[in-house]
Amino acid sequence: MSNSTPSENVFDLVLLGEIEAMLEKLLPAAAGQVEGLNRIGQAMRYSALAGGKRLRPYLLVRSADLFDVPRTQAIRTGCALEFIHCYSLIHDDLPAMDDSDLRRGKATSHKAYGEATAILAGDGLLTDAFALLADPKTHEQAQIRIILIAELAKAAGSGGMVGGQMMDILAENGEAVDHDISLLQSLKTGALISYACRAGGYLGDAPATSIAQLENYAQCLGLAFQITDDLLDVTSSAELAGKPVQQDMHMNKSTFVDLLGVAGARAKASALVAQGKEALSDFGPKAAPLSKLADFVLHRQV
Ligand code: GRG
């Protein structure tokens, strides 16, 4: 029996199309009167419309479905999160960081547009994400918009993804004395995944117990996602992954595969996914799409 879960059986293609269409609509124009504005629009579109899996916005919409949140609100919030994710990939690929030439099967932003434009494209995506959440079209209640903004800032900022990236850089340079790979990954990769799962609850004004259950699911999923990322770095090809592989070893990154071996890492990811699915049990059959996504994370090939 194949142990892969084809993404077409997991992701609703109509919903993915709606997310893609909203991203396209919300990104700045690339063909207006002002050359500088066209250039930043082109660079932001080049990276953000480059065909990622859209796992984070998809998770966000599926968590929002648990609370019957209107689709437009969930998709707009998911697009803000995807803007942040795309900015982080552009900056992570820069020469000062991972110095990568390939992302999502295409030349990275700085290779296509130069470093200065790539930095600005990342800055544009980061900043525009918050303008998008502050817009009443995202939610009619200002108090909910403030929660969405504050929680995304926490997840993406110095106590979240940016802090995790800093830990990663110190560890790579051999400068970290207190190296904790689980904390590093829970910040670098897990914080945005956690936001994806909780934001549906914020949009639906869900009780704290439901948010805590989604957070438990997200913690397991985020760690499993990172473990499968480490496994793919060892087992996949650049052609399939759309980005260079075997990078962790070259960059002296310590990974879950180093720590546990390939079989141990697979077993750990599998246990985490089972635990994550268990955390959804109170939501009943409505949580089936989130459960399927957990299986996808375990068996993904990209
Ligand atoms: C530069 C502030 C800053 C942060 C960078 C996200 C990140 C932090 C670095 C990316 C390096 C990396 C490979 C992390 C592992 C997990 C991860 C985020 C993988 C990419 O996410 P996917 O697989 O990508 O969801 P797509 O292209 O499908 O959106």
Q: What is the pLDDT of residues 180-192, one digit of tens each?
A: 888 999 999 999 9
User: Each residue of 189-248: pLDDT tens digit?
Assistant: 999 999 999 999 999 999 999 999 999 999 999 999 999 999 998 887 666 667 776 776
User: Each residue of 81-111: pLDDT tens digit?
Assistant: 999 999 999 999 999 999 999 999 999 999 9
Ligand 1 mean position, distance from CA 132 (Å):
22
Written as one string, the DSSP assignment of 35-52 is HHHHHHHHHHHHHHTS--
Residues 180 and 254: their CA atoms lie apart, in Å, by 10
**Degrees, nearest 5: CA angle 46-59-50:** 10
| Mutation pick for ligand 1 pocket among 92, 106, 162 (CB with most ligand atoms within 8 Å) | 92
Collapsing DSSP states into helix, strand and coil, what is residue 177? coil
Closest listed residue to residue 75, CA positions, set 132, 121, 126, 28? 132
User: Each residue of 259-270: pLDDT tens digit?
Assistant: 899 999 999 999
Pocket of ligand 1, beta carbon within 6 A = 52-53, 55, 85, 88-89, 91-92, 104, 161-162, 165, 188-189, 226, 229
Closest listed residue to residue 107, CA positions, set 50, 22, 69? 50
**H-helix or E-strand spanning residue 107:** strand 106-107
Nearest protein Cα to ligand 1, atom 13: 229
